[in-house]
Amino acid sequence: MEHTNINVIDIDTEKAPSMTSIIWREIVRDKIALLSLIFLVIITAFVYGISLFLNQEEIVKVDLFAINQPPSSEFWLGTDYGGRDIFGQLIIGTRNSLSIGILVTLMTGIIGVVYGLVSGYYGGTIDNMMMRIVDFFLILPFLMIVIVFVAIVPKYSIWSFSLIMTAFLWMGITRIIRSKALQERELDYAQASKTLGTPDWKIMFTQVLPNLSSIIIVTMTLNLAANIGLESGLSFLGFGFPESTPSLGTLLGYARNPQTLELRWWIWLPAAVMVFLLMLAVRNVGEALKRATDARQRRG
């Protein structure tokens, strides 16, 4: 081929509707999902914003002169049996619960995508061995190991709690990604890349991965709702954070006391409503994303 004098041009012709615009259209079409998204954005911004000005030490300090006070102008949502402000705990607790949910979702997502992609792409013996490791993790008694972990770890932080949850929650997304990768690697475009001399890791992460992006987004969103719920559940049972680190689950945990449950609704009800709304909102958005990835289910 002789060099013809083609000028290097730079034009942006009409593009296919990008995934972002499809998702956006789907969410706008679905009023409940749109409301949920707005709610989530506001809550997240509010919680992270306010907690910058709140002093956790101050809030969790025991004040014996103000125990079990009902909501008032001083304590907007009353106080608990230690005289600690519930409103402040709710803000910090929501932030902590959200942080854990997001951290766990991201970490399980990264592990699951890489592990599942490698396993599914290579297939055969490698896949077999890698999936047996997954099976091993699946049969471990999650709750029991978390209880033991709580007992032996001296300093319990958001990070260590997220890590222990991640260790037991990465298998679900791994299996989804692996089954998708098994399908994708058989497609001609992946085979074509091989014949063009592209190395395997490059095919995995630059050719196959973009085709899995929609399923990754959907799975991770739905996982986020589940992870927030799981954190609250564990803390409620007393295997999550101590009272010095408020989370939605520790607030809910006060309701284990029958008197609190019956007479002092302000301690546990706001946290319960918050967990309920957060999970519902994330799930609504997740369902809209799920529909956006499947042209037959789309509303927009």
Interface residue list for another protein (CB under 8 A): 1, 3-4, 6, 8-9, 11-13, 15-16, 187-189, 191-199, 207, 210-211, 213
In the Cβ-directed half-sphere of 215, how many Cα atoms lie within 13 Å? 20
CA distance 267 to 67: 11
Q: Give the nearer residue to another protein in terms of CB position, either 10 or 262.
A: 10
- Distance from the Cα of residue 201 to its chain's centroid: 27
Angle, helix 19-29 to helix 265-292, in steps of 10 degrees: 130
Least gap, CB of 6 to another protein (angstroms): 5
3-state helix, strand, coil in the chain (%, to 5): 75, 0, 25
Q: Give the nearer residue to another protein in terms of CB position, either 203 or 288.
A: 203
In the Cβ-directed half-sphere of 41, how many Cα atoms lie within 13 Å? 6
Q: Give the nearer residue to another protein in terms of CB position, either 73 or 195.
A: 195
The owner of tokens 């564990």 is 234
The owner of tokens 């619960």 is 97
Look up residue 31 and give its two tokens: 């009023």
Q: Give the nearer residue to another protein in terms of CB position, either 98 or 209.
A: 209
Question: Residues near 150 by Cβ (< 8 Å), separated by ≥ 6?
Answer: 156, 239, 240
Nearest alpha-carbon partner for 228 in 134, 112, 83, 101: 101
Least gap, CB of 182 to another protein (angstroms): 15
Q: Give the nearer residue to another protein in terms of CB position, either 8 or 139.
A: 8
CA distance 277 to 269: 12
CA distance 269 to 195: 61
Q: Give the nearer residue to another protein in terms of CB position, either 13 or 259.
A: 13
Dihedral over alpha carbons 252, 255, 261, 263 (to 10 degrees): -80
CA distance 290 to 256: 37
Least gap, CB of 198 to another protein (angstroms): 6
Residue 235 DSSP label: H
Q: Give the nearer residue to another protein in terms of CB position, either 11 or 151.
A: 11
Least gap, CB of 291 to another protein (angstroms): 19
Least gap, CB of 196 to another protein (angstroms): 4
Least gap, CB of 300 to another protein (angstroms): 19
Least gap, CB of 38 to another protein (angstroms): 30
Q: Give the nearer residue to another protein in terms of CB position, either 198 or 257.
A: 198
Count the helices and strands in the chain (H runs, E runs).
14, 0
Least gap, CB of 10 to another protein (angstroms): 9
